[in-house]
Structure 1
Amino acid sequence: MAKPAKSVKKKTKPKLRIDQRIRRFFLRVISVVFLVAVLLVALGAVINPPTNAYMFSEGRRLGGVEHEWVALDRIAPVMARSAVAAEDANFCEHWGFDMAAIKLAIAEGSSRGASTISQQTVKNVYLWHGRLWVRKAAEAMMTPLVEAVWTKRRIIEVYLNIAEFDAGVFGVEAAAQHYFGVSAADLSATQAARLAAVLPSPKKRSASRPSNFVHSRARQIRDGAATIRADGRAACFES
């Protein structure tokens, strides 16, 4: 007489504890966010951003904005040097964060001068304006990605094309025409220095009707632009 077959018990996977499930969920979210960030940065290396969150909001507020994209080859080289001299003199030497400037800003109790052109570009292209820690964290994550994927020439090209130079005036081509009636390719050293001098407060400063402060700042920037060209700190975006 045949013996009855023994029933085989199926092994069940042990249930994850609630803290393990939460940890796994957040790891998945972080992975997805990172992959999306990598994709956006990779696209930004070859595709010119047509607008950004701030430009869109200003367009709605003002009923439109002035903006025309131009390649870096169609921008006077002195303009790029002036922007770097004004906002980030060590642009060619850092990987996205100027640690010396950050330490100096902390020691002085100010954030001015600590934000690099790379950080500003990330904020303007991918994020939003404001001081929320979430934006700061996203900026800190994406800035090294941009530095790793984009060239320095690409970073300064995008920066010059999306920076605000007056209310509703975005990009150096629109700014050159708005203030001086010339194209970005024909900017003089003085005009370029004045445009750089209105940063980062374009709504309070004017390049065509410069205050004493803007006059003084523009002279410093013009000297600084000549200095970084002479000492090689402009080589990464002029080569």
Structure 2
Amino acid sequence: MDAITSQFFDLDLMRQALPLLLKGLVVTLQICVVVIVLGGMAGLLLAMAADSSRRWIRWPTIAYVDLFRAMPPLVLLIFVYSGMPFAGVKLSPYAAVVIAFVLNNSAYYSEVFRAGLKSISPGQFEGARSTGLTQVQTMFWVILPQAVRRVLPDLLSNTVEVVKLTSLASVVSLGELMYRADMARSMSYNSSPIVLAALIYLLLLWPLVRLVSRFERKPER
């Protein structure tokens, strides 16, 4: 028991590693904000394009969504970071992580938004247009707010997945939370920094998980 405690729950080592891990947490949060914002915006545009009446827009969009939903994010990240230099494009670890994760998450956000948009009755669109609103105004002022409200639990759930996804950035030596925790572990030959990183992830994600559960139980009005 003492061996387990000293190897995984060394409080003194956790205290020493905490400043290093907090620096990594800042990088993790920066990645999350950029990926969630860009991925969400791209996902919304893809959702609308996927239902376009023009085949030359609809089919490439569907192919994009299917491709990046099917491709493992770790494979995509390694391809962007290690494969693109062979095509003459060398990216920093931060840029590679953002590009790979935006490509992956925009596809998932697209399907969430698309489900929300399809849940709205066509009559609402026609009614809004009859009041004099343009097609763009109808979408952003009438249809989209209702669609987002209906799929809010799924949007939040996908956001939780984005935060967890950032731990993969350690494979390209980006100094986020997991990378710095593993660095502290390798220097101390002790797993306590990894346990501390897990606790930080838990504190960060637990409120979001509870919020998702609350929205899922809340009856729609």
**Greater helix percent: which structure?**
2
TM-score normalised per structure 1: 0.23
TM superposition score normalised by structure 2: 0.25
Q: Which has the higher contact order (CA 8 A, sep 6+)?
A: 2
